[in-house]
Amino acid sequence: MTEISYRSINDPSLWPARADMRRHQISQILHIITPAAAMCIVLSAGPETVFPSTAPAHVWMIWPWNVLLAMAIGVIVWDGRALFLRHRGRRDALRFSVRSGEEAFRFAEEALGVNHGSENSDHRGRTTATGLWETCAVAPLAALAYTAAASEPARPLHWLASTVDQLAADGSERSWQRAAEAISAVSTHLHEAFVSVMNMSQRQRDSVVLVMRDAITPCLAVRR
């Protein structure tokens, strides 16, 4: 069992967000597979069978339409239940409440599943590579979270997600410098913590950014 799956199972605070992400992914897969399967059924039965020139009253009862309708109803039911569970799970989702540096670090640790280093090893006590990057990501994510709350109080998650996405997509020195400048404007201490990661090698920075993006994705998903 991987360190990520082990932590997800043993950290109840992550269950609602993880479950919502899985439901969202399943919905996306169903929306791709269902039209393809419907096309295969139409081609297999023949267009003249599915769409006869004269539509008798019992056309909806023939087997192609039975299958097509069952598939459509199944997708609609799944989407409806996923939407219901998403709204019901909002109150249990990872909450963005950052008003101080301490709360910023608490948010980052909760999002990353880091708890004073105890979650950075697998069930046999061995340190894992994923745990290493999550630990490295705590300081920069906390710095970005605090800056988001201070600079964009109306939509902090939007700013946070946009900045992390930009770092993940670009990863250039200029992108990191812009983020560092924004952090410097609100906190010198957090700026220093962010710069320590910014001074890592390109490959190390990319690993940290990917971990940050994966950490905040569940938080964003329940707010769509």
Q: What pLDDT, on a 0 to 100 scale, did the predictor assign at position 70?
A: 85
- Which residue numbers in the chain have pLDDT < 70? 1-20, 52-61, 86-96, 115-130, 218-224
Q: Which residues span the domain enclosing 195? A: 101-221
Same domain, 167 and 215: yes
Q: Which bin fits 116, alpha (ψ -120 to 50), beta or left (φ > 0)?
A: left
Domain assignment present for 114 = yes
CA distance 34 to 26: 12
Q: What pLDDT, on a 0 to 100 scale, did the predictor assign at position 4?
A: 40
Say if CB 218 and CB 94 are below 8 A apart. Answer: yes
Q: What pLDDT, on a 0 to 100 scale, did the predictor assign at position 195?
A: 93
Domain assignment present for 1 = no
CA distance 131 to 120: 4
Of 58, 74, 92, which residue is a domain's last? 92
Same domain, 130 and 61: no
Same domain, 51 and 121: no
Alpha-carbon dihedral 136, 204, 18, 124, rounded to 10 degrees: -70
Q: What pLDDT, on a 0 to 100 scale, did the predictor assign at position 212?
A: 92
Query: What DSSP character marks residue 94?
Result: P
Domain assignment present for 181 = yes
CA distance 21 to 114: 20
Domain count, the chain: 2
Q: What pLDDT, on a 0 to 100 scale, did the predictor assign at position 181?
A: 94
Q: What pLDDT, on a 0 to 100 scale, did the predictor assign at position 154?
A: 76
Q: What pLDDT, on a 0 to 100 scale, did the predictor assign at position 61?
A: 66
Report pTM: 0.54
Same domain, 44 and 126: no
